């Protein structure tokens, strides 16, 4: 993936986070806000269904998504605020499960799979990437739990700030902070560029969505 595309994806992510926070503050129940705010989760499900089950799977998710949005807009029992909470908690729970599922004995950790795309792994690399995968697993679990706590104990505006701005900033701080700290803790590791790590993540995610596994 070229650098310009990564920069474009990052800029789009920042813009979407700011737009989501604005919509949740001022137009949380607007008919057009629900599909816009829940669209990323739906599109992800659409892509996974298409990759694994072909056109029939994509068509099923497409119809189910339309029916779901119609039901939400007509229902007064399920408020859009709860749906936004469900999406935030659900995405972080899925990420927690994705990272944590690779920590089984005898299996290369998820971050080890990312690193293996850049350079061969030594035993030290394998142990470090397994520990780092545990850190990310715990991070996503904590984010999900705090999401429920903030939603239940504070205002919806505070929860929107937490979910749309603080959460992605936390991901960036953890990602960049680990990169800067890695060579202080392990100067013997082969140095890699930060952009290579991002490319490895996207390449591995693309393979996972296609239902394949790295060697």
Q: Distance (Å, rounded) from C-alpha 188 to C-alpha 186?
A: 5
Contacts of 124 (CB under 8 A, 6+ apart): 186, 188, 189
Q: Distance (Å, rounded) from C-alpha 41 to C-alpha 43?
A: 6
At 190, the pLDDT band (50, 70, 90 cuts) reads low
Is the pLDDT at 137 greater than 70? The verdict is yes
Between residues 10 and 184, the one the model is more confident about: 184
Output the pLDDT for position 60: 84
In the chain, what are the domain boundaries?
3-29+79-209, 31-78
DSSP 46-100: HHHHHHHHHHHHHHHHHHHHHHHHHHHHH-SSS-HHHHHHHHHHHHHHHHHHHHH
Q: State how far the alpha carbon of 178 is from the alpha carbons of 122, 158, 194, in Å.
A: 19, 28, 10
- Is the distance from CB of 147 to CB of 85 less than 8 angstroms? yes
Q: Distance (Å, rounded) from C-alpha 25 to C-alpha 155?
A: 11
């Amino acid at each position: 993936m070229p650098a310009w595309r990564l920069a474009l994806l990052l800029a789009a992510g920042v813009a979407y986070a700011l737009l989501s926070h604005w919509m949740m503050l001022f137009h949380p129940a607007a008919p057009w806000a629900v599909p816009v705010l829940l669209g990323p989760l739906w599109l992800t499900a659409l892509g996974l269904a298409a990759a694994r089950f072909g056109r029939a799977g994509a068509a099923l998710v497409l119809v189910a998504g339309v029916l779901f949005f119609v039901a939400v807009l007509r229902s007064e029992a399920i408020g859009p605020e709860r749906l936004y909470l469900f999406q935030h908690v659900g995405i972080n729970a899925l990420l927690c499960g994705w990272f944590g599922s690779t920590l089984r004995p005898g299996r290369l950790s998820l971050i080890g799979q990312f690193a293996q795309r850049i350079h061969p792994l030594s035993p030290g690399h394998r142990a470090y990437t397994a520990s780092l995968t545990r850190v990310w697993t715990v991070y996503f679990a904590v984010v999900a739990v705090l999401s429920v706590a903030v939603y239940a104990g504070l205002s919806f505006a505070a929860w929107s700030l937490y979910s749309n701005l603080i959460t992605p900033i936390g991901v960036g701080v953890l990602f960049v902070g680990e990169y800067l700290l890695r060579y202080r803790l392990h100067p013997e590791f082969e140095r890699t560029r930060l952009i290579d790590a991002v490319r490895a993540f996207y390449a591995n995610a693309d393979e996972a969505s296609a239902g394949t596994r790295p060697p």
